[in-house]
Amino acid sequence: MSYQSFAEFERIPQHQLDRAKQFPAAILCDVAGRRGTMNSRIRALNPAMSICGPAFTVEVRPGDNLMFHVALAVAKPGDIIVVDGKADDTCALFGDLMVTQAVAAKLGGFVVDAASRDTDSLAHGDFPIFAAGTNPCGPTKGLPGKLSIPVSVGGVAVNPGDLIVGDVDGVVVIPRNEIEAVLDAAAKKVAAEKQRIDEIEAGILVSPWLDDALKQAGLPTL
């Protein structure tokens, strides 16, 4: 089996990606049942960075980036390389060189449950990077890993082709078969929040649901 075959998984249609880019990670998480968000250790190198695209999953042994390099060589434009690095922060799994290659390959970004390095240049670049810390030490390149398999990254299950959305709040994973329903729900939530903002600006300061919630909790109402 060639390594190229690991890149042949079903990807998210462009119309869904275009819709998903309209919503922040927080909205998508809320309507997806308040689940699917990665541990807060995985954060953008720059708060202005955002990410949206299909996951190309990679599993590596702690401190080794051999299969990360293979994924980088075969991933398709727009793919987000999502690496289960076992939350290891004793060395960086990537830096300037790998990001330069990813930009040339027109990839969508990196989400890595491990450390990165070359932080100053990467944080000021345009390529979206979400990682679990930084470390100047480089990795080894000699241990087997796996591509395009279900992985656990930041405490969340990620399958090849799942939707990855990240921003300053963090990263959320939407399973491939739930994307359309989540996007529909996200649009409704945005509309509802806009209505509530309009109410607040009109002087209606108490949320209409609050008294019911207090009653259900056995507490006095306002």
Claim to verify: residue 85 and residue 194 sit in the same structural domain = no
Residue 115 lies in domain: 3-183
Nearest to 174 by CA among 8, 33, 14, 6: 33
Claim to verify: residue 114 and residue 199 sit in the same structural domain = no
Claim to verify: residue 34 and residue 135 sit in the same structural domain = yes
98 appears as a binding residue in the annotation: yes
Is 50 buried (19+), middle (13-18) or exposed (0-12) by CB count in 10 A?
Answer: middle
- For residue 124, tell me if it sits in a domain: yes
**Cβ 162 vs Cβ 79: under 8 Å:** no
Residue 53: CATH number of its domain: 3.50.30.40
67 appears as a binding residue in the annotation: no
- For residue 23, tell me if it sits in a domain: yes
Claim to verify: residue 195 and residue 160 sit in the same structural domain = no
Number of domains present in the structure of the chain: 2
Claim to verify: residue 107 and residue 204 sit in the same structural domain = no
Claim to verify: residue 58 and residue 150 sit in the same structural domain = yes
- For residue 198, tell me if it sits in a domain: yes
93 appears as a binding residue in the annotation: no
97 appears as a binding residue in the annotation: yes
167 appears as a binding residue in the annotation: no
61 appears as a binding residue in the annotation: no
Claim to verify: residue 43 and residue 137 sit in the same structural domain = yes
d(CA 145, CA 89) in angstroms, rounded, equals 18
Give the rounded percent of residues in the chain with a pLDDT score beyond 90: 97
Per DSSP, 137 falls in state: P
Quick: pLDDT tens for 142-180.
999 999 999 999 999 999 999 999 999 999 999 999 999
Helix axes 96-104, 66-74, angle to 10 degrees: 20
Claim to verify: residue 106 and residue 204 sit in the same structural domain = no
pLDDT tens per residue, the chain (222 residues)? 699 999 999 999 999 999 999 999 999 999 999 999 999 999 999 999 999 999 999 999 999 999 999 999 999 999 999 999 999 999 999 999 999 999 999 999 999 999 999 999 999 999 999 999 999 999 999 999 999 999 999 999 999 999 999 999 999 999 999 999 999 999 999 999 999 999 999 999 998 899 999 999 999 998
- For residue 222, tell me if it sits in a domain: no
Claim to verify: residue 107 and residue 29 sit in the same structural domain = yes
- For residue 125, tell me if it sits in a domain: yes
Tokens 């929040």 belong to 193
pTM: 0.94
